[in-house]
Chains A and B, each alone.
Chain A
Amino acid sequence: MRTVLSIGTICIAFVAIWYVGAVFLNAKWERDQAARAGVEIGWAEIVPATMSQERPVLPAPHQVAIEIWKTTVEKRVTSKRSLVYHGWITLSATLLGFVMGVGLGILLAVGIVHNRAMDLSAMPWVISSQTIPILAIAPMIIVVLYNIGISGLIAKASISAYLSFFPVAVGMVKGLRAPDDMQLDLMRTYNASAWQVFWKLRWPSSLPYLFASLKVAIAIALVGAIIGELPTGSQGGFGARMLNGSYYGQVLIIWSALFGAAICAALMVGAIGLAQRAVLGRTGQMR
């Protein structure tokens, strides 16, 4: 009950601030219009007018909500104006990229933990890969991949993978090294093979770290897919929606795509949280 109350309070405060912001940011346009028409207007006219502009600087919350409703519930999902249609384009690239990135991250971590040469050489590359602004490198990746015959879904997914492998690699290196000397000695007294040490000790020890990394990875995989949609002139996806919105000054389209993306991210992070609870909750490994 208390959590519901506190979350509700924060939501209401957020929406209230948003409305106030909308009024102030959109008021200028109303005043300019009035001045041009040679009329005097007061706050009593300005406030309601700022809530229903066609091209507001900052749309009011209910405008965004109505736009989202119109482009989801009231449109067929196959329509190019449906947010669900675009959402699925982005989501499919996100999920594919996430799977690729997680696989790559885990493989890298296993290599770093088990191979001394990789331990000494790989990590600086992994870190420097993330210091390059993805916005700058994404168009290059898309172009390079296009030239070797890869485009569309896979190309976008590879940008998601490029971002999402990083938290997984870093988290899993830590996780696979989580077993202490005593636990490793125990396996040694059993004369366990490296394979057995990995599957029976290192891998299960790393799971709490893996789930923490996955939550970060899925969120940035979505960011990667959206960025991947910006330079291609691609036909669909949240990224294409945002770009179109900004070309044609359709602020509402941008905001509804933004919220669509945020809702998707929240749902995916939530799904990973559920998986985490299912896997780790029972064994008392979740605090």
Chain B
Amino acid sequence: MHETGAITASSLDLVFQTNDGPVHALSNVDLDVAPGEFVSFIGPSGCGKTTLLRVIADLEQPTGGTISVNGMTPGEARLKRAYGYVFQAAGLYPWRTIEKNVRLPLEVMGYPARERAERVARVLELVGLGDFGRMFPWQLSGGMQQRASIARALAFDADLLLMDEPFGALDEIVRDHMNEQLLALHARTGKTVCFVTHSIPEAVYLSTKIVVMSPRPGRIIDVIESTLPAKRPLDIRESAAFLELASRVREGLRAGHSYDE
């Protein structure tokens, strides 16, 4: 294994040129993520959390600073298929069954047919969709679709999982359930997870490290190491340690928020 972290960024800058002039999406971002960490990026909309995730995924190019993913540039990491990306919407292909949706990356990456079937079965089991492989996306609920999209990102066993508000569109109860399952998944697989959210309880509940961000320009204003134990039942959210972390996140968000409305 590399001595380097899973993700290392220093003085990262990204300026979008728009018709209304330049927009400073990321400003002077320093970040260190060790392998196996679960890092949440939290902040109001426009704080650059999604942009940062997209820079890690080589879907956006930074205009300044350096960033490495698994010791490589994001571009090299993408070419080596070093990460799985889960988008805000499940984005399953309607013409493919759940099974075949999960198989998509394996087909693209040229896995042999036998191994494909094994992997698909394994990850569908992992997200609790073992019995739904033959169904089409429209036959599944939103939560199940999102789980299928997570299975799709897990199918090729990348060390790094990038998740962009994957549960944003789900209702509270389904969301709690998904959070629990995601934690279990993280414990079982030991993958590095970068998780974008705008929910404080979600960030605190899931993360080993919480990165608080603020808009205009998008920047990091606080990095909080979680004091919670690795094993987290849902009711840990009523514990003193949890509430303390949550209030520290909230303070960070309040301090960084420019109330210019």
What residues of B have a CB within 8 angstroms of the CB of A280 in the complex? Answer: 95
Complexed CA–CA distance, A96 and B252 (Å)? 70
Q: Indicate whether B136 reaches chain A with its CB closer than 8 angstroms.
A: yes
Min CB distance A229 to B, Å, is: 40
List the one stretch of A21-29, A183-191, A235-243 in contact with chain B. Answer: A183-191
Q: Indicate whether A123 reaches chain B with its CB closer than 8 angstroms.
A: no
Report the interface size class on chain B.
20 to 34
Complexed CA–CA distance, A185 and B162 (Å)? 13
Complexed CA–CA distance, A186 and B108 (Å)? 11
Q: Indicate whether B16 reaches chain A with its CB closer than 8 angstroms.
A: no
Complexed CA–CA distance, A188 and B87 (Å)? 13
Known: A182-B91, A186-B85, A191-B79. A284 touches B109 (CB 8 A): no
Interface centre among A186, A201, A282 (most CB of B within 10 A): A186
Complexed CA–CA distance, A200 and B101 (Å)? 11
Known: A186-B85, A189-B57. A204 touches B108 (CB 8 A): no
What residues of A have a CB within 8 angstroms of the CB of B109 in the complex? Answer: 190-191
What residues of A have a CB within 8 angstroms of the CB of B139 in the complex? Answer: 284
What residues of B have a CB within 8 angstroms of the CB of A204 in the complex? Answer: 93, 95-96
Q: Indicate whether B89 reaches chain A with its CB closer than 8 angstroms.
A: yes
Q: Indicate whether A283 reaches chain B with its CB closer than 8 angstroms.
A: yes
Q: Is the CB of B87 within 8 A of A285?
A: no
Q: Indicate whether A207 reaches chain B with its CB closer than 8 angstroms.
A: yes
Q: Indicate whether B244 reaches chain A with its CB closer than 8 angstroms.
A: no
- Within 264-287 of A, Cβ neighbours of B (below 8 Å) are at 280, 282-285
Q: Which one, B78, B84, B138, contacts A284 given CB within 8 A?
A: B138
Q: Indicate whether B81 reaches chain A with its CB closer than 8 angstroms.
A: yes
What residues of B have a CB within 8 angstroms of the CB of A187 in the complex? Answer: 108
Min CB distance A130 to B, Å, is: 31
Q: Is the CB of A284 within 8 A of B136?
A: yes
Q: Is the CB of B78 within 8 A of A283?
A: no
Q: Is the CB of A189 within 8 A of B83?
A: yes
Complexed CA–CA distance, A200 and B106 (Å)? 12
Q: Is the CB of A283 within 8 A of B95?
A: yes
Q: Is the CB of A185 within 8 A of B104?
A: no
Q: Is the CB of B85 within 8 A of A201?
A: no
Chain A, residue nearest B90 (CB): A182
Min CB distance A68 to B, Å, is: 42
Q: Is the CB of B136 within 8 A of A283?
A: yes
Q: Indicate whether B32 reaches chain A with its CB closer than 8 angstroms.
A: no
What residues of A have a CB within 8 angstroms of the CB of B79 in the complex? Answer: 191
Q: Indicate whether B233 reaches chain A with its CB closer than 8 angstroms.
A: no
- Within 119-133 of B, Cβ neighbours of A (below 8 Å) are at none
What residues of B have a CB within 8 angstroms of the CB of A200 in the complex? Answer: 104, 107-108
- Within 193-252 of A, Cβ neighbours of B (below 8 Å) are at 196, 200-201, 204, 207
What residues of A have a CB within 8 angstroms of the CB of B107 in the complex? Answer: 200
Q: Indicate whether A192 reaches chain B with its CB closer than 8 angstroms.
A: yes
Min CB distance A112 to B, Å, is: 23
What residues of A have a CB within 8 angstroms of the CB of B89 in the complex? Answer: 182
What residues of A have a CB within 8 angstroms of the CB of B138 in the complex? Answer: 284
Complexed CA–CA distance, A189 and B96 (Å)? 19
Q: Is the CB of A191 within 8 A of B78?
A: yes
Q: Indicate whether B174 reaches chain A with its CB closer than 8 angstroms.
A: no
Known: A200-B104, A200-B108. A190 touches B81 (CB 8 A): yes
Min CB distance B79 to A, Å, is: 5
Complexed CA–CA distance, A273 and B96 (Å)? 21
Chain B, residue nearest A283 (CB): B95
What residues of B have a CB within 8 angstroms of the CB of A285 in the complex? Answer: 94-95
What residues of B have a CB within 8 angstroms of the CB of A188 in the complex? Answer: 59, 78
Q: Is the CB of A196 within 8 A of B108?
A: yes
Q: Indicate whether B201 reaches chain A with its CB closer than 8 angstroms.
A: no
Give 1 or 0 for each of A163-195: 1 = CB within 8 Å of chain B CB.
Answer: 000000000000000000011011111111000
Q: Is the CB of A189 within 8 A of B59?
A: yes
Chain B, residue nearest A280 (CB): B95
Q: Is the CB of B81 within 8 A of A283?
A: no
- Within 30-87 of B, Cβ neighbours of A (below 8 Å) are at 57, 59, 78-79, 81, 83-85, 87
Complexed CA–CA distance, A254 and B137 (Å)? 52
Min CB distance A94 to B, Å, is: 30
- In the complex, besides A188-B59, A188-B78, 15 extra interface pairs with C-beta distance below 8 angstroms are A183-B91, A186-B87, A187-B108, A189-B59, A189-B84, A191-B79, A191-B81, A191-B109, A192-B108, A200-B104, A200-B107, A207-B95, A283-B94, A283-B136, A284-B137
Ordered by A's residue number, 9 sampled pairs between the chains whose C-beta atoms are within 8 Å are: A185-B87, A188-B59, A189-B84, A189-B85, A191-B109, A200-B108, A283-B94, A283-B96, A285-B95
